[in-house]
Structure 1
Amino acid sequence: MDFGGGDEIRFERKGRAGVVTLTRPKALNALSHGMVRALAKALAAWEDDPTIAAVLIRGEGRAFCSGGDIMQVYAAHRAGEEPPAAFFADEYRLNAHIERYRKPYVALIDGIVMGGGVGVSFHGSHRVVTENAQFAMPEVGIGFFPDVGASHLLPKLGGHFGRYLALTGNRIGWGDVLGCGLATHAINAADQERFAERLCDSGDADAALEGLTVSPARETEAAVLEAIGRHFARPSLPEIIEGLKAEVAADPFAARTLSTIEGRSPTSLLVAWREIEAGRGLSMADCMRMEFRILVRMLAGHDFYEGIRAAIVDKDRQPKWQPSRIEDVSTADIDAYFAPLGKRELTF
C-alpha cells in the first residue's frame, strides 16, 4: 500500500489490521516530514475502511523511533532558510489525530522511543512495551521543550513523575514506563510476532494480548520514587532546585538530579515547567496549539540550534545557553513563548 513516504515507512494490510513499519533503522527511525505526511494519509484512509479493525505501528532495528529528524531543522537554519514550522504543524496534527482515533491504535515499542516517537505511539489506545524499551523526553538537554503532546501526557503521571521526566530528560525502562502509566501493557520481546499475528488475524488488540502480558518490576526503587515525589511536588522550578541543593551532601539522588538539571537549557526548563502545569487543564487539541506557539518561538531562538550543535554536530557536550542561568530568564521571556500566534495558530 502506498501512502507516500518512500523507503522510510511501509504500509501493509495484514488480515484485519493496517500495519505501519518505520524503516529507517540506521537513523533510529527518526521521523521525516514525508513519514509524517504518509502516516497521516494512511490513518485517515484506514479509519473509514470497514475491513481494517485496528492499526499496528512498529519500528525496524533497535529503535521504535528516536524522535523527529532534527538535523533537517539544523541544516535549514545553517542555510538561512525559513524554519520548518510546517513539519511540526503536520506532526502535531498527526499526534492529535492518534489521540482521538476511532479504532484501536496499537504501538509495539521494542527499543528506543523518544521525542517524536512518543508522539506517534503514546497517544494511542494500546501502548505495548518490551524489555528493550527505553523511553525519554530529552528535549531540555538540546535547548528545546517536551513537545508532541507531552503537555497532555506527562501531567497525568502520579507522584510528579511527569515533572521529573520533563525537567531531567532521563531515560526509563519498561518497568517504569508501565508502572507510571505511560504504557498500557508489557510483553516479552520474544512474543512480539505472536502478538502481531494474533492482532492481524482478529483485529482485537485485547484478545491478542491475552496470555502474553507480563508485569515487570519498576527499575526506579521505591526510595527514589519517594524522593521524586517529594522534590518535584514543590510549587516552582527554583524551589525544586533549592530543595535538591539542600540535600546534595546527604542524598546521591539529589546530587545526580541537580547536576542533570543544571546542565539543561534554563529557558527550556522554565518553558517545560509552565507547559506541563498548563497542560493539566487542557484538551489534547489545546495542548497541541500551545506547543505550536512554543515551537514557533523556539525555532526563532538560540538554544535549540546550540543544543543540536553541542550534542550532535560538534559533539563537545558544552552548550552555551543564552541566558545561561535560570535567574536571568524573566517571566516576560517565558510569557512570550505562550503568546497567541494570530493567523499562524495551529488549526485542525
Structure 2
Amino acid sequence: MPLRAKITNPAVGGDRTVIEPPQSWRIVKEQPGDEPDDVIFETKYGVRTIELNRPKKLNSLNGSMARKIIARLKEWEKSQLATAVIIKGAGRAFCAGGDVAALAKWDAEGPEGQQRSADYFALEYKLDHLIASYEKPYIAFIDGITMGGGVGLSTHAPFRIATENTVFAMPETTIGFFPDVGASFFLPRMDGQMGTYLALTSEQMKGVDVFYHGIATHYIHSSTLPDLEARLAELTFKDYLSLQERHAVINSTIEEFCTGLPAPRANISGALRRAVDTCFAPSNRTPPAVLSALKNAEQNGETDEIKTWAKKTIATINERSPTSVAVTLRQLHTSRAWNIAQTFQHEHNIAARFMAHPDFVTGVTARLVDRIKTRPAWKPNTLAEVTDAEVNSFFDKEPKMELLNNNELATYTEYPHAWIGLPREGEIAQMMKDQPNAQKAEVVKFFVDRSRGKQGVKEKVEEVYDRVAETK
C-alpha cells in the first residue's frame, strides 16, 4: 500500500495530504502490519522533519518506525531540496527506548524468536549508524524522555537540543541488557568517568545537566522550539558549502535562541565528580573493584554527600543484573578502540547473545510488564557467580553486520562534529597544565572567545578549573 504522508510547506499554502508512488529506492521496505501513522514526516521549505508519533507508548521505537525513517533519510540524503533534518517526539517524550516488551515475548518463544529479536537490533543499529554518518545536518530536539532507542536516534547527531523537560538515561542494566545504540562509542568519550557511572547504574540526568555533561550540544527552553524550527526552515545554503560550514551556520542560528541556563553547574560537580572519577576509574576493571572503591568512598569520603552517594550507588549496582553489569564494564573498557562502524557491529553481536540469556526476559518481564519493585531473580544472581568465560562469550564473535552507509563518515574514531558542543574537560585541564600561571579568568576567556560566546562555556570552564585547581 502506498505511504500516506502529511506534507507541510508554507511555500504552497499549508498542509496537504498526498499519496506517494511506490518507492523503488527503499533500502528497507515496510512490512505487513506496520502502523500507518507512527511517524509523521513534514516538509518546511528546506527542512525535513521526523515526528515520532506513539505518544501513549512514549514514542518507543519499533521496526515499523525504523523502516520508515531509514527510507526517508536515504531519500533526503540524495535530494538537493532537503537542506537539514529535524527529529522530535509527540507528547512528553522524545523517545523512551525500544519496544523491548515485544522482544522479550519473542525471546521466550525460543531460538526462532531470539533470532527475530536480533534482526530487530540489526535494523535499529543500521538506522543509528546512518544517523551517525549522515551527510546532511541532523538536529534532534530531545525535549522530554530520552532513553535507550531514543538515545540512538539523537546522541550521534551533530545537534542535540535539551530543554527543561529532558530526562536522559541508559537503563539497560535494570532489564538484563547492556547500553547499546552506540553507547559503546559515546559513553567512553564523556568527560571523566561519567559514562561508566551512567552505564552501570542507569542513573538519570535531567534538564541542563544533559547539556553540561555533553549529551546535548545546546540548551533552550521548550517554548522556543517552534520558533527555532521555523527559523531553521528559512535557512538557505550555497551548493558549494561543506557540511562543516553548514553546521557552523546552524550552530550560530541555534545559539540565537539560547536565552540562559537555570543553574550555573551540573548536580554532579566538584568533590562529587571527583568521587565518580575515582570509583569508576579505568584501573577498576571489574565490578568487585568498582564496589571496593565505592565502599572506600562510603567509609572515607570527604563529605557526607559523597558517603551517602557511595552507599546508594553500591545498592543500585547490586540491584542490577550481575551479567549485565559485568558485560557492560568490559564493554566500556574495550570499546574505546572501536570506530563508529565497528561499534554497531560489535553491539549487534552482544545484543544477539543477550537475546539468548535468561536475564533479558526476566528483567523486561519484571520491570516493564509486571512492574514489580523487588529485585528480579537474575541468573546468575550475584556478581561473584559471573565468570570470565561467561563475559568473554559476549565478545567472541567477529563483527559482520552490514551497514547502510559506506561514505567518509562511516568509520570515524572521534565525532567530527564534536566542536559544536561544550569544550571537553580534558582540553581545559591540559591548558591549565601547559599554562600553570594562567588565572581562571584567562582560561575562561580563551574558551569563550574560541566558541564565539557559546552559552554554557563560561560555566563549564569555571567548574572544571575550580575542581582541577582544588586537587593541586
TM over 0.5: yes
Quote the Cα distance in structure 1 between the aligned partners of 2:272 and 2:94. 28
Q: Of 380, 402, 407, which residue of structure 2 is paired with 1:323?
A: 380
Q: How does 1:121-140 map to 2 (within 5 A)?
A: 121-140=154-173
1:261-303 alpha-carbon deviations (Å, 9 max, x no partner): 1100111011111111222111111011110110111001100
CA contact (8 A) 1:173 1:219 kept: no
CA contact (8 A) 2:107 2:356 kept: no
Residue in 2 that maps onto 1:36: 66
Is 1:253 the counterpart of 2:309? The answer is yes
Residue in 2 that maps onto 1:308: 364
1:118-158 alpha-carbon deviations (Å, 9 max, x no partner): 00011111011101000000100110000000001100011
Residue in 2 that maps onto 1:13: 43
With 170-179 and 134-143 compared, the bigger mean Cα shift is at: 170-179
CA contact (8 A) 2:161 2:220 kept: yes
Is 1:219 the counterpart of 2:267? The answer is yes
The number of aligned residues is 346
Scaled by the length of structure 1, the TM-score of the pair is: 0.95
With 79-88 and 256-265 compared, the bigger mean Cα shift is at: 79-88
Give 1:174 deviation, angstroms.
2.5
Residue in 1 that maps onto 2:134: 101
Q: Of 204, 217, 220, which residue of structure 2 is paired with 1:187?
A: 220
Partner of 2:347, secondary structure, is: helix
Quote the Cα distance in structure 2 between the aligned partners of 1:219 and 1:45. 42
Residue in 2 that maps onto 1:82: 113
Structure possessing the higher radius of gyration over alpha carbons = 2
Is 1:111 the counterpart of 2:144? The answer is yes
Residue in 1 that maps onto 2:291: 241
Q: Of 304, 319, 340, which residue of structure 2 is paired with 1:263?
A: 319
CA contact (8 A) 2:125 2:181 kept: yes
Scaled by the length of structure 2, the TM-score of the pair is: 0.71
Partner of 1:18, secondary structure, is: strand
Q: CA RMSD in A?
A: 1.6
Give 1:207 deviation, angstroms.
4.0
Paired letter, 1:30: S
With 131-140 and 168-177 compared, the bigger mean Cα shift is at: 168-177
Quote the Cα distance in structure 1 between the aligned partners of 2:379 and 2:137. 44
Partner of 1:108, secondary structure, is: strand
CA contact (8 A) 1:175 1:219 kept: no
Gaps of 5+ in 2: 6-19, 21-25, 237-248, 301-306, 404-472
Quote the Cα distance in structure 2 between the aligned partners of 1:48 and 1:62. 32
Gaps of 5+ in 1: none
% identity of equivalent residues: 38
Quote the Cα distance in structure 1 between the aligned partners of 2:225 and 2:364. 34
Q: Of 238, 250, 253, which residue of structure 2 is paired with 1:208?
A: 253
Partner of 2:381, secondary structure, is: coil
Paired letter, 1:228: V
CA contact (8 A) 1:22 1:58 kept: yes
Give 1:216 deviation, angstroms.
4.6
Quote the Cα distance in structure 2 between the aligned partners of 1:166 and 1:296. 19
Give 1:229 deviation, angstroms.
1.2
CA contact (8 A) 1:199 1:208 kept: yes
CA contact (8 A) 1:202 1:208 kept: no
Quote the Cα distance in structure 2 between the aligned partners of 1:216 and 1:298. 40
